[in-house]
Structure 1
């Protein structure tokens, strides 16, 4: 019997039957480590900082207790159409993913969920808020805009969650977060979750939390990367990277694959080059319109395309358990970006392969990543698209060439990208859809609201 099977069930930890039944229908019965550790405290209304590697169940680590408390905790006010919980995420894609996960878990409850982000009409979001919402998931810019307009009421929020808290509290988001915190002057529960939690971020978080408990789902000092993810790192000449990439994508057993690019322009270029070689590929980056981004992500989730080229920010919303390969077309800028990228594979009991192509001008950057994460690969080997070592390491068939068929279009067509140049619009572009309605039942207090 595996360690995962020995974990307690959600029901054993006291989660409402309506929620455990919905989780079971989605194949979730027993908890992951982060869920086992956080649920008892979160259900009791305690402030906490949850830390676990990407793909190890963080969303349900805060989502299940949040929904449970909103649904039937006597210390949370009865539902009346104004939000009882607020979840803040750094990207639109992550907000959508969290909202979808919440709706699955709350399917048997009357809890109404709304996802809010920029790039969508204000009217539809305002109408949904007016109709009544119990849980709001959103990105900072649009949340603040709707709050300033008086459309988003936060004075009855009992549970606040910052997802991917390390990025949320980074310098770029901190002013927005502070504005939201000023709106929550009443007593409430606060939970922060992320895969990485640097010391300065924890210190900052403690300034607006009430005696938070810091929970790590692994040993202090444990490796930041998954043992379930095989890491293949080698030097590749920039003129040969596309040819290398086309071979890697023909590896035996390759399924859903995410290719990371550093910039929006390189993301679009890589996708176009792969499509020209016959690969079915989609792209997600900041210069795409929101409908096109959602279309590409949905196609990837549904398996219409198995290859997705993405920038780091866009990838924060890709929460899919069966990604078999992650490919760093360019070396990440730092070790935490590397951890987040390769954490897209080897998730939730699956194994995966992470391939990093280190350009000759990126060696210093890789050396720093290798040192910080203690990967033991300070001098990766130099391989070319024709190197036997490449074929052996990734189980590439001998006959693999640069093309796999006739040229295609990038999924969604070439018109999905805007011309390169200054970003259009306001901050709100950084940044839903309503759920059901009704009232909850009460089972009594499970913990004091502070």
Structure 2
């Protein structure tokens, strides 16, 4: 006779109407009146620090001034010239750590100009207009570039190359383009299928072919891309997650947070998506926050987000942390996972954590332990390249990612890389876009050199 305690995991914890309400747009767009009032708060600084803080170097004062002048289409053009995925970045970029963090209004009014929301207002207005396409292609160059990965880096690279007259073939392992924009972000950040609407806008430039369900699995494939195309850009992101390295990690109920988020994003009916009554999320980044908050929104009664260091070390922004707490997620610090406990039937029942402290610059256990009961454990401790083909092909790797120069060129002639798979980055959507843009400009220069 089994003595195991069955896990409490089920779908439909909420009334049907509650799902749409809970997963509605987290930051609804500004109205035209709100946008005008907010734009008029901008001081249009010379050598504006907000523009310098933007990884894609959007001319922030310029696009905001155009909103104030009623030229919303011109505002969107200013944004998209620098960042072709400006709509998504306006939704998910941690502006509180970048452009808005250095806004001079912080010192004058203790509140920055809402740059991210103004950016969304302008781009959304353009994309929903009768004539959303503001760019035209240059004359055809006769060159074709292969892009591996239809995420932010790959899409940005493809769009810039297409504008310069090159043809582009984008290969991606997933059935739908968008990368993490489609599969890895919380639904309340990107409602109404915006990721695909943005891809549709990007592809409207022409000259870009998508080839989905294509995986880079052999060195022969990579070599064929180098031979068959005039240049190659690698923007495939990170394909696998780090392991916790503790007993019980392979028990049923232990999942990767990115897989949980992907299933949620692709679900057509959230009431059919099972969620545990008690959920423990291990990690301290934005993926951890997205997984924790969405578990709570699906009806989990208890959600704990646990990080092994102090709050000042979390990669999730202060705004993201506050968002989690506002939604009932309990944040724990200085706790390292030590064991995932079996319920007696092969399923997780709890997680045992060892309390940590910092001593002489190193994490040290205090000897105290904490147990958190769980029906589901979500791992969000970072991702890795996870593709042996890249190393076997002769690419130089650095800290497990592809080493490049400042414009993304790798050690292999004719091969560039960008986004999360590139070493030394911040793992931000906006930075991935900049990687793709700079590599595209470098590729264009190489292909058109006399």
Structure holding more strand per residue: 2
Bigger relative contact order, structure 1 or 2 (CA pairs below 8 A, ≥6 apart): 1
Q: TM-score, normalised by structure 2?
A: 0.31
Q: TM-score, normalised by structure 1?
A: 0.31
